[in-house]
Amino acid sequence: MGVEYDGTDFHGWQRQVDDRSVQACLEAAVGRVADHPITLHCAGRTDTGVHAIEQVVHFETTATRSERSWVLGTNVNLPPDVAVRWAHPADASFHARFSAYARHYRYQIMVRRTRSPLARQRAVWVHEALDVERMRAAALHLVGEHDFSSFRALGCQAKSPIRRVHYLDLSEQDDLVTLHIGANGFLHHMVRNIAGVLIAVGRSQAETDWTRLLLDVRDRTLGGVTAPPHGLFFVRADYPDHFGLPQIAGAHPLQPLSSD
Max Cα separation, the chain?
Answer: 58
Residue 139 host element (H or E):
helix 132-140
Report whether 147 contacts 161 (CB < 8 A).
Answer: yes
- Note if 35 is an active site residue: no
Tell me what pLDDT residue 252 has: 56
What is residue 30's three-state secondary structure? helix
CB 1 within 8 A of CB 52: no
Decide if 208 contacts 138 (C-beta within 8 A): yes
Instruction: Supply the DSSP symbol for 4.
Output: E
Q: Tens of pLDDT along the chain (260 residues)?
A: 999 999 999 999 999 888 999 999 999 999 999 999 999 999 999 999 999 999 999 999 999 999 999 999 999 999 999 999 999 999 999 999 999 999 999 999 999 999 999 999 999 999 999 999 999 999 999 999 999 999 999 888 889 999 999 999 999 999 999 999 999 999 999 999 999 999 999 999 999 999 999 999 998 888 878 999 999 999 999 999 999 998 776 655 565 544 33
Q: Which helix (H) or strand (E) holds 34?
A: helix 22-34
- Residue 124's nearest CA partner among 48, 82, 178 is 178
Burial of 171 (0-12, 13-18, 19+ CB in 10 A): exposed
Contacting residues for 237 by C-beta, under 8 A, at least 6 apart = 43, 44, 56, 96, 100, 102, 103, 104
Residue 233: name the closest of 251, 211, 215, 260 by CA. 251
Q: Phi, psi at residue 173, to the nearest 5°?
A: -145, 110
How far separated are the first and last CA of the chain, in Å rounded? 32
Q: Which of 9, 47, 81, 147 is catalytic?
A: 47
Please give the C-alpha separations between residue 121 and each of 51, 66, 76, 125, in angstroms, as whole numbers: 9, 35, 25, 10
Structural domains for the chain: 2-99 (3.30.70.580), 105-232 (3.30.70.660)
- Identify the sign of the CA torsion 159, 53, 125, 12: negative
Are 201 and 130 in contact by the 8 Å Cβ rule? The answer is no
Q: Is the dihedral of CA 12, 15, 19, 20 positive or negative?
A: positive
Q: Which residues contact 77 (CB under 8 A, 6 or more apart)?
A: 28, 29, 32, 33
- Residue 257's pLDDT is 47
